[in-house]
Structures are given as C-alpha cells and as structure tokens.
Amino acid sequence: MTTLSYREAVRSALRDSLRADPRVFLMGEDVGRYGGAYAASKGLLEEFGPERVRDTPLSESTFVGAGIGAALGGMRPIVEVMTVNFSLLALDQIVNNAATLRHMSGGQFSIPLVIRMATGAGRQLAAQHSHSLEVWYAHIPGITALAPATVADARGMLLAALREPDPVVIFEHASLYPMEEEADAHAGPADITHAVVRRRGTDVTVVTYGGSLGKTLAAAERLQVSGISTEVIDLRSLRPLDMETVLASIKKTHRAMIVDEGWRTGSLAAEVSARIMEGAFYDLDAPVARVCSAEVPMPYAKHLEDAALPQPEAIVDAVTALCPRRG
C-alpha cells in the first residue's frame, strides 16, 4: 500500500491500460498536451504519443461519436468529457447510439466504450461546470454508470470498465482529485456490481455515493459522539443499483436517508427512496429522508456554493431528526 491521490489513481489505471492493451486509447479535450482539465492524463502523451493520447476539438458530440465508432471497430476507447455539464452536448450519441446499438442490432454489435467525466461542485466553477447530472445516465438502460468515491475505486473501476462489453460512464467527482488515501497502486479491476458498507452502524442507514461519501462519513463521526450509530453505504454503481446491500442494512437499522449532490426533484435519491419503499416498507421506523443540493443553478460565490451543497451539518441534523430517541 502507498499513499496515492485520486488523480494519480486514475492516471495509473490509464497508464496501465494503455501499456497492457494496444486497443486502448485516450481521447478528449486537452487530454494530451495540457494533461487533462484535471491533470489526470499528465505525462501520458509523452509516454504513448499522439496516436494513443489524442487531443480533440471542442465538440463533445463529435469525439464521443468517434469513440462509439472506434469501439464498434474493435478498439477499447476511453473518452474523457471535461464535465458532466458539457456531456449534454453528447447526449444524443450516448443515449441514442451507445446505449441502444446492442439491442437494436439483436446483439450483433457491442460498444465497449468507457466515458470518463468530472462531476459535482465545490470548486467555485459555477453553474456551467458544477452540476451533478449522474441520474440522467443512471436513467438509461444499456449503460453502466459508476461513481468512484475512493482512491482505490478511482483506479479499480476504470480497469473494470475496460473489461465490460458495453458502454460504461464513470463520474469522477471534481473535488476528489487531490484526495489522498492509502491504496494499492497495482491493484487489479474492482468489483463494480456491489455497493459497499463504508462504516458499520446500528441506528440509521445513510446511502450516498461519489463526492458526498466523505461528508457523510464526517457526519457519522459527529453523530457517534451524540450516541447515534450510523451505517454508511457507498452505492458505487449508480446503474445498476445494488439494492440488496441497502435493504439488508435497513432491515437492521429501520431508518434510511440518502445523501445526493443532485437536486432533490427526480434525483437518484428519489429512485433509491422509492426502491426502499418497495423493498423494505414494513421494516421502516421513520419516513425515508433525503439531503440533496438546493434547487438552484450552482452559485459561484463560495458561501453560496457551500450553502447549496449537502454539508455534514445538514446530514447530522437530518439524521438526528430521524432518530429522536437517540442522541
């Protein structure tokens, strides 16, 4: 184990994949000479050359479409889209082509495409760079949507995604890139089919993913001090959802809350909440609660951005309200 940043973990997975498989190549805006908008691919152009680390024009639809074509042609492309906000320009390619062709071709075509994109707020990049639109993709059958919340997952999920026969979208939370953790720099692919219990607890289950995991764990730590034992589940895969892990936890704790940086209305939190109702209604001792972002375009000003996002204080308050006898 070594201390590794989330950014280095992504880079190590990119480098190892480029070395291991000649079909793998990286493509996107500024991934080459600039080293990636979040410096995830720094140094890779020098090591692998412009054929395999390709800078593209500012045209998401074009280069994602090119990635789909390359995947159809037998390559293993990794396409980096700068942010999930910008990925909306490529929505047609992803939703109408990448997600559908296996089904529309009766299984004749497969599209082993990996699309990486940054998501989330917290860096004062304002409304056009900071939204959490993961749920748009989690809605779509035919693609897998992953959200690595740890350094180990940042590496392991990318390696696993390259082994999938169908399109995988990976959401890297922009605030996590500098985060450092102990991790195995040479670990193989991660399991991408299961949620993981990141903290054991008995009083309440808090389900979260991506950039909200750290905040939720911090809140759980504070709650412990006031006597509330919080189980924290990291969803990891947003589509498909591993509800078995979530429901098993709720059968134990009888209370559930979801922390989601997306907006409450039509959120992933809404989907998880509905499934909890379907799968564990008679185990619930309180209504399912949610902590989501304020329903405004993400503000630029630091204090407003902080106020708009789920914060540990709000998580502590919501859990405390859910567990009135504890605390």
Partner 1 sequence: MPALGADMTAGRLIAWLKHPGEAVKRGDIIAEVDTDKGVIEVEVFTSGVLEKTLVEPGTKVPVGTPLAVIREAAGAPAPVPTPVTVPSPEGRARVSPAARRLAVELEVDLATVRGTGPEGAVTLEDVRQAVGKTEAPADRGERMRQAIAAAVTRSKREIPHYYIGHTIDLGPVTAWLAEQNRDRPVARRLAHSALLVRAVALTLRDFPELNARWVEGRVAPIADINVGLAISLRDGGLVAPALHHADRQSVDELMASTLDLVERARAGALRSSELSDPTITVTILGDRGVDTVYGVIYPPQVAIVGFGKIVEGPWVVDGRVVARSLVRATLAADHRVSDGHRGALFLAGVADRLREPDRL
Cα 294 to Cα 161, 263, 290, 303: the distances in Å are 32, 6, 12, 13
**Distance of alpha carbon 204 from its chain centroid, rounded?**
23
| Long-range contacts (CB closer than 8 Å, 24 or more residues apart) made by 269-273 | 271/135, 271/138, 271/241, 272/207, 272/235, 272/241, 272/243, 272/246
Residue type, position 120, single letter: G
CA–CA separation, 33 and 79 (whole Å)? 16
**Contact set for partner 1, span 195-224 (CB under 8 A):** 199-201, 220-221, 224
Residue 80: closest CA among 64, 57, 98? 64
- Among 39-47, 116-124, 148-156, 317-325, which window interacts with partner 1 (CB under 8 A)? 317-325
Helix (H) or strand (E) holding 72: helix 60-72
- How far apart, in whole angstroms, are the C-alpha atoms of residue 216 and residue 267? 18
Any idea how long the chain is?
A: 327
Which residue of 264, 275, 311, 314 would you call a contact of partner 1, by CB under 8 A? 264
Q: Which is nearer to partner 1, 124 or 320 (CB)?
A: 320
Kindly give the pairing relationship between strand 114-119 and strand 237-239.
unpaired
Confirm or reject binding of residue 146 to partner 1 (CB under 8 A).
no
**Active-site residue flag, 271:** no
Quick one: 188 or 227, whose CB is closer to partner 1?
227
Q: Which is nearer to partner 1, 114 or 272 (CB)?
A: 272
Q: Which C-beta is closer to partner 1: that of 186 or that of 325?
A: 325
296 binds partner 1 (CB under 8 A): yes
Instruction: Point out which residues pair with 239 in neighbouring strands.
Output: 145
Binding residue (CB under 8 A) for partner 1 from 59, 226, 252, 301: 226
Is residue 90 helix, strand or coil?
helix
Q: Does 321 bind partner 1 (CB under 8 A)?
A: yes
CB of 173 or CB of 290, closer to partner 1? 290
Out of 227, 244, 300, 306, point to the residue binding partner 1 (CB under 8 A).
Answer: 227
Under the binding rule (CB under 8 A), the answer on residue 323 touching partner 1 is: yes
Q: Closest CB to partner 1 among 92 and 313?
A: 313
- Out of 51, 108, 186, 295, which residue is the one contacting partner 1 (CB under 8 A)? 295
Question: Least distance in Å: CB of 286 to partner 1?
Answer: 5
**Which residues, 6 or more positions from 274, have their beta carbon under 8 angstroms from its beta carbon?**
none
Please tell me whether residue 245 adopts helix, strand or coil conformation.
helix
| Mask for 35-74, x = binds partner 1 (CB under 8 A) | ----------------------------------------
Judged by CB under 8 A, the stretch of 28-36, 133-141, 205-213, 282-290 that binds partner 1 is 282-290
Catalytic residue check, 80: no
Q: Which of 129, 231, 261, 305 is catalytic?
A: 129
Provide the β-strand partners of residue 146: 170, 237
Judged by beta carbon, residue 52 or residue 199, the one nearer partner 1 is: 199
Q: How far is it, in rounded angstroms, from Cα 132 to Cα 13?
A: 24
| 47-55, 95-103, 153-161, 283-291 -> range binding partner 1 (CB under 8 A) | 283-291
Residue 225 sits in the site that holds partner 1 (CB under 8 A) = yes
Here the tokens at position 3 are 């201390």
* Shortest spacing between CB 34 and partner 1, in angstroms: 37
DSSP code per residue over 210-232: TTHHHHHHHHHHHHHHTT--EEE
Task: Write out the residues near partner 1 by the rule CB under 8 A.
Answer: 199-201, 220-221, 224-227, 229, 254, 264-265, 281-287, 289-290, 294-296, 313, 320-327
Could you give the residue numbers annotated as active site?
60, 129
